[in-house]
Structures are given as structure tokens and as C-alpha cells.
Amino acid sequence: MGGLCFQTLSATRLLTFFTFVLWCIVACRLQVNQARSLVDGPSKLSLFQSNDSTAATNMNVLEAADEVRRRLGYYGGGGVGGGGGSFNIIDRCWRGDSDWAEDRMTLAGCGIGFGSNAVGGKGGEYYVVTDEGDDAVDPAPGTLRYGAMQLTPLWIIFDRDMNIRLDNELIIMSDKTIDGRGANVHIGNGPCLTIQDVSNVIIHGLHISGCQPGKSGDVRSSTMHLGYREGSDGDAISILNSHIVWIDHNTFASCQDGLVDVIHGSTAITISNNAFSHHDKVMLLGHDDSYEADTNMRVTVAFNRFGPGLVQRMPRCRLGYFHIFNNDYVEWSMYAVGGSADPTIISENNRYQASDSVKEVTKRDCNEGPSYWGGWKWVSRGDLFLNGAFFVESGDGSSYRSPIHDSQQFEDFMASSSSSSFNPSMTSSAGALSCSRSRPCS
């Protein structure tokens, strides 16, 4: 009898053990599926669902810009899963991986140019935005502002498509990545993003349009500080007195002031793979002609698409050193690249397509003639000029060495691209990408 009882007890324990193991497997798979769901989402933007006429107009602008990309073959930029040619040096680093969502932080090692050291929130925790609401004074957990104001490194992602209308300007702390991949995230129709007095920030994969000036009043900038703000200018992204910043694969349109402004001594900035459309003053690099701190400004502008519907400042530069590489310009109403106060501008392998009325790419914003600005180093190398476009050079650019070339990775890339002029496949996927689980972003 005792032996029988022992055998029955052992069988019971064995059954219990296998039941527990089965439960663990099911629970584990459920957690993995829940995590993977954070990078899935509808393929269409779920934006501007209110009756606000301004919001609807901005949505139409973004859709029009996307339609241009589709019509010109700008989706599927090549590589694994793409059909438009080779990835550029940034996208080659991560976009061919169908399991990109398993390690989003791989992106942090893919930057080039002056902002290439930006790693954002790499090494920190993931923070998931679950609430599209906003309170500038008392942010709730789960909102974008609550994550952006933390003092520790964070990689911020979104659990679904969102239309975020901020209560006031959003001030982003150091060591942050805002990563919109896997969801269609729009920020706009109110104050937008401010990067001020910080370092090491990545902004990737957002749609930003319809930005308006901020209101005067208190804004919480961090968990330790609530301060009075006079009101932001209405830029999509303002970068002030900050360094090591990377703005990549975003779609910008129709804001009150600038789309990306870099001022007040900011440096070590890369602005890459973005789509800019339907706006007047696109990009200001440098505060004013007498702001001496901007002499040290270093900015790389690469693989962006400028147009349609742009007027000027692509970019407008002051005092510092600016490398403008393999961007695609589709017409401009005033000028494409301009500046004042003796900036160094290296324009390399860009495509400048003029409108029927305005042909000159460049503009020196001063009343004096060549006797004054003739020594400014404005260099054009390998640029492609269409429909009568032309670039007025100045200074001695015979011995220039643009800093992007100092990377062996870049030298290898240039050697493999078999091109010493504009390469359309390098800009073919400019703007926020469409990303979902288990396939490369396109």
C-alpha cells in the first residue's frame, strides 16, 4: 500500500511540474507578443481626427508630401526589402534588419557627421508613451513629456499611433531618444520641441507640422525644475546651447516659424534623412551675426529632401562650419542655401532643381558686394544643377576636407557607391519611415 501511495504521489508531482512548465512557456510567449505589439500599428496615419480646420490642412500637406515620395519612387529605398537602390550610410547600419524592433538601440551607433556621437538614451531603460495627453506643469506618467523630463537616459517609444497636441513647448533633457518607429506619431498644432542647455539627444521617426508659438507661463523642464518660459517661437524643433544632437528620418511641414533652428552656441549636430515641405523659413543655423559663440557651430546636413513648397533657408548659416551633403532640392522661391557673417559652407553631391523663376542656389545676406564676401569659403563639389540652377562660389576651397570624410566607414561607403556626384537612392527614403514587426522599415 505504501508503495502504491508513493507512485501516485510522484505522478501527481510530475503532472504538476509539467503544468507549471507549460504555463511558463505560454506566459513568456504572451509577454513577447505584447512587447512586439509596440512596434506594430496601422499603416495609415490616424492624425487630425478633430474638426479643426488648421489640423486638417496640415494633414493634407503631409499626405501631399508623402504622395510626392510615392510618385517619384521614394519608398523602399533599397537594400533588404527595398526596391529603390542602395541604402545610404546611415540606413545601411540598421534598416536592412527585419528584427530591428528587438534591439532599437542599434540605431544609436549609426550617425554620421558632426552629430555622430549622439547615442541618446542608449544604455537606459525603454519608456513607452501610452497617453497622448499633455500637461506642461504636472505631466502624467505615460505621456511624452513625463519621459522627456527624466534625468536618467531613456529610449522613448510609442505603443500606438498618436496625435499629440502639446500644452506648451516640450523641453527635452539630456540622454534621450524619441523613437517613433512602429507607430505613426504626429506632434503639432500647438507648441513643439525644445532642446536647450543639454547634450546627447536623438529625434527619429516623427511627423511634425502646424507648430505654433508657446505661451508664457510655467513649464516643467525636468523632475527637478519648474520654471517660467516667455513662449517659444513656433519652431518644429529648436536647438539652443546644446551639443551632440541627431535629427533623423522625420517629416516636417508648415510651422509658424522655422522647421529646425540651431542657435545660441549649439554644435555637433547632424540633420539627416528628413523630408521638409510647404514652409517658408526652413532651417536657421546661427542666432545672429554678432553671436560669437556660434563661431564654433558645426552642423552636418545630409540625405534630406527639401521640397516641394519651400521658400528659403535650406539652410541659412552664420559664422560656423556647415557640411551640406547629398540632399535633394526641389525648387525654392527665394534661395536654397544662404548665410552671413563669413560661414564656411561645403555643398557636396547635392541635386539642385531650380524653379522656372529663381535659378541661383545661394544668397549672401548682406548689402556689400564680392569685395566684402569674396573670401567666405562657399564651395560646391559634385553638385548636380538642373533647370538652370547655379551656385556662386567664393573663397579658396581647393584644400578643403569636409569632416564627414574623416570616417573610414564613410570612405568605404563612398568607394562602394561608385558615384562622385548626387546619388538619388541616398535620399529616396527621406522622412518618417513605415515600420512594422518582422520586416525592414520602408
Set 95, 313, 318, 351: catalytic member: 313
For residue 40, the number of C-alpha atoms closer than 13 Å in the C-beta half-sphere is 8
Mean pLDDT value of segment 12-19 = 45
Integer-rounded Cα radius of gyration of the chain? 24
d(CA 352, CA 373): 23
Residue 103: pLDDT band with limits 50, 70, 90: very high
Short-list 207, 183, 206, 185, CA closest to 41:
183
Active site residue 313: yes
pLDDT tens digit sequence for 379-411 = 999 999 999 999 999 998 766 665 555 555 555
d(CA 409, CA 248): 19
d(CA 342, CA 243): 22
The C-alpha cell that represents 306 in the structure block? 527639401
Selection from 19-23, 164-168, 397-401 with the highest mean pLDDT: 164-168
d(CA 301, CA 289): 21
CB–CB of 439/98 below 8 Å?
yes
pLDDT tens digit sequence for 256-310 = 999 999 999 999 999 999 999 999 999 999 999 999 999 999 999 999 999 999 9
CB–CB of 234/152 below 8 Å?
no
User: What integer pLDDT is reported at residue 330 of this predicted model?
Assistant: 95
The C-alpha cell that represents 410 in the structure block? 564613410
d(CA 81, CA 434): 12
Residue 365 in 3-state DSSP? Answer: coil
CB–CB of 414/92 below 8 Å?
no
Q: Out of 2.160.20.10, 3.40.50.2000, 3.40.50.10470, 1.10.150.20, which CATH number does the structure's domain 39-426 have?
A: 2.160.20.10
d(CA 48, CA 37): 23
User: What integer pLDDT is reported at residue 399 of this predicted model?
Assistant: 65
CB–CB of 397/347 below 8 Å?
no
- 312: β partners: 281
Residues 6+ apart with CB under 8 A from 74: 68, 84, 305, 427, 428, 429, 430, 431
d(CA 157, CA 181): 8
The C-alpha cell that represents 438 in the structure block? 518582422
**Cα dihedral sign for 347, 351, 355, 356?**
positive
d(CA 238, CA 231): 12
CB–CB of 155/126 below 8 Å?
yes
Supply the mean pLDDT for the chain.
83
Biggest alpha carbon–alpha carbon distance for the chain: 112
CA distances from 102 to 39, 94, 126, 178 (A): 10, 12, 12, 17
Residue 438: pLDDT band with limits 50, 70, 90: confident
Domain boundaries, the chain: 39-426
Q: Count CB-CB contacts under 10 A for residue 415.
A: 8
d(CA 252, CA 103): 26
pLDDT tens digit sequence for 183-233 = 999 999 999 999 999 999 999 999 999 999 999 999 999 999 999 999 999
User: What integer pLDDT is reported at residue 184 of this predicted model?
Assistant: 97
d(CA 57, CA 112): 35
Short-list 94, 66, 69, CA closest to 80:
94
The proportion of the chain whose per-residue pLDDT surpasses 70, expressed as a percent, equals 76
Short-list 332, 261, 330, 334, CA closest to 299:
261
Q: What is the DSSP string of 263-314?
A: ETT-EEEEEES-EEESEEE-EEESS-TT-GGGGG-EEEEES-EE-SSEEE-S
CB–CB of 55/48 below 8 Å?
yes
d(CA 283, CA 272): 13
CA distances from 110 to 201, 269, 304, 427 (A): 14, 14, 16, 16
pLDDT tens digit sequence for 332-350 = 999 999 999 999 999 999 9
